[in-house]
């Protein structure tokens, strides 16, 4: 099997490529990545001789058409993905998440290729903190930021191309990922690298916003399960029953790092900060037999902390600039 991975030098895409090489030696991998600030070709240095890497824009129709034609399956991770950045400048989100997905769809349509489209639970908006419900595939879309709205739009494009043109595609909407290689602007790696830098972690508002956390390896194993067993045109939700509020996550990071439980600062809450996400992944589990391995978030966080401690040279050069941007916003 020849697989084209868009956004394969970003956080989740990097881990997908590394796990694919580790677990599926018969798969030939080509990576397409524009290497924006969130992509890093060095992430793939350990497998550089076993993959083909192409630096390019997912909205570049000529490059995309050529690469799709050379591969059997497209796994579409490429996306602008940070909510805070989308509030400051939505334009790249429209280009990458909407125009990029359209470009991929037209290429797989021309060449008759299989597509798996990676999306997010943020397309559903949020749930009340005391609501027992979880997102399902029938939950109406209700995005609340330029990021989530462009991801919702990309999902709808995929569904339209399946119905209108018979494109062979599946979609997955996943809860919040954590693990190695995640950019330090994101919540968990920011707090971990703060602690490793002797900086007090920063907590939006009261810290009661809830996310449904999943280790990136569990997410990517689920993606492969969908590629191999999923039914065309179907949407699968990926989650690991990892609901925790942000205060709890900071507390676990402090505990695992040997710091006092109150060694953090409250900062101004983010505009439009969704209250709670929660995924019902029963369809994926019952139909396709997938199960998460990291069912204990403490173990997953401990592994993640160890990775950032052991790979300071990977994140340290960007740390000062990231914290300066947050400081400008009072966060």
The pLDDT tens digits of the residues spanning 261-320 come to 999 999 988 777 889 999 999 999 999 999 999 999 999 999 999 999 999 999 999 999
Looking at the structure of the chain, the number of domains it has is 1
Q: Is residue 81 part of a domain?
A: yes
Indicate whether 146 belongs to any domain.
yes
**What is the domain-level CATH number for residue 19?**
3.40.50.720
Distance CA 6, CA 100 (A): 10
pLDDT over 90 (residue 53)? yes
pLDDT for res 274: 84
**How many C-beta neighbours within 10 Å does residue 250 have?**
25
pLDDT tens digits along 81-90: 777 778 888 9
pLDDT for 301 equals 97
Q: CA–CA separation, 285 vs 325, rounded Å?
A: 40
Could you list the active site residues? 121-122, 147
In a domain, 208, yes or no: no
Residue 289 falls within a domain, yes or no?
Answer: no
- Residue 205 falls inside a structural domain: no
Encode pLDDT of 8-42 as tens digits: 999 999 999 999 999 999 999 999 999 998 899 99
Does residue 204 form part of some domain? no
Q: What is the pTM of this model?
A: 0.95
Q: Note down the domain range covering 161.
A: 2-178+215-238
Residue 275 counted as domain residue: no
**What pLDDT digit, counting tens, does each position of 152-175 carry?**
999 999 999 999 999 999 999 999
Domain membership of residue 330 (yes or no) is no
């Amino acid at each position: 099997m020849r697989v084209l991975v868009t956004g394969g030098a970003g956080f989740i895409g990097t881990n997908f490529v590394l796990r694919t090489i580790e677990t599926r030696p018969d798969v030939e991998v080509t990576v397409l990545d524009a290497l924006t600030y969130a992509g890093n070709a060095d992430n793939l240095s350990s497998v550089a001789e076993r993959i083909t890497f192409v630096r390019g824009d997912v909205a570049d129709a000529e490059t995309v058409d050529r690469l799709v034609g050379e591969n059997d399956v497209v796994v579409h991770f490429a996306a602008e993905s940070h909510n805070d950045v989308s509030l400051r400048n939505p334009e790249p989100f429209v280009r990458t998440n909407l125009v990029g997905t359209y470009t991929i769809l037209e290429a797989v349509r021309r060449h008759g290729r299989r597509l798996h489209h990676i999306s997010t639970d943020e397309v559903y908006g949020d749930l009340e903190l005391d609501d027992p419900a979880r997102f399902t595939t029938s939950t109406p879309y209700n995005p609340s930021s330029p990021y989530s709205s462009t991801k919702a739009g990309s999902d709808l494009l995929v569904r339209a191309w399946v119905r209108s043109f018979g494109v062979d595609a599946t979609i997955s909407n996943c809860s919040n990922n954590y693990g190695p290689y995640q950019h330090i602007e994101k919540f968990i790696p920011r707090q971990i690298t703060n602690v490793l830098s002797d900086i007090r972690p920063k907590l939006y508002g009261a810290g009661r916003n809830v996310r449904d956390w999943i280790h990136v390896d569990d997410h990517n194993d689920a993606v492969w399960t969908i590629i191999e067993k999923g039914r065309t045109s179907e949407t699968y939700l990926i989650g690991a029953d990892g609901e925790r509020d942000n205060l709890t996550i900071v507390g676990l990071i402090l505990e695992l790092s040997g710091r006092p439980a109150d060694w953090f600062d409250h900062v101004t809450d983010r505009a439009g900060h969704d209250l709670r996400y929660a995924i019902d992944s029963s369809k994926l589990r019952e139909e396709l037999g997938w199960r998460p391995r990291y069912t204990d978030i403490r173990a997953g966080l401990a592994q993640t902390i160890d990775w950032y401690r052991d790979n300071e040279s990977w994140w340290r050069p960007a740390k000062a600039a990231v914290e300066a941007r947050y400081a400008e916003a009072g966060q």
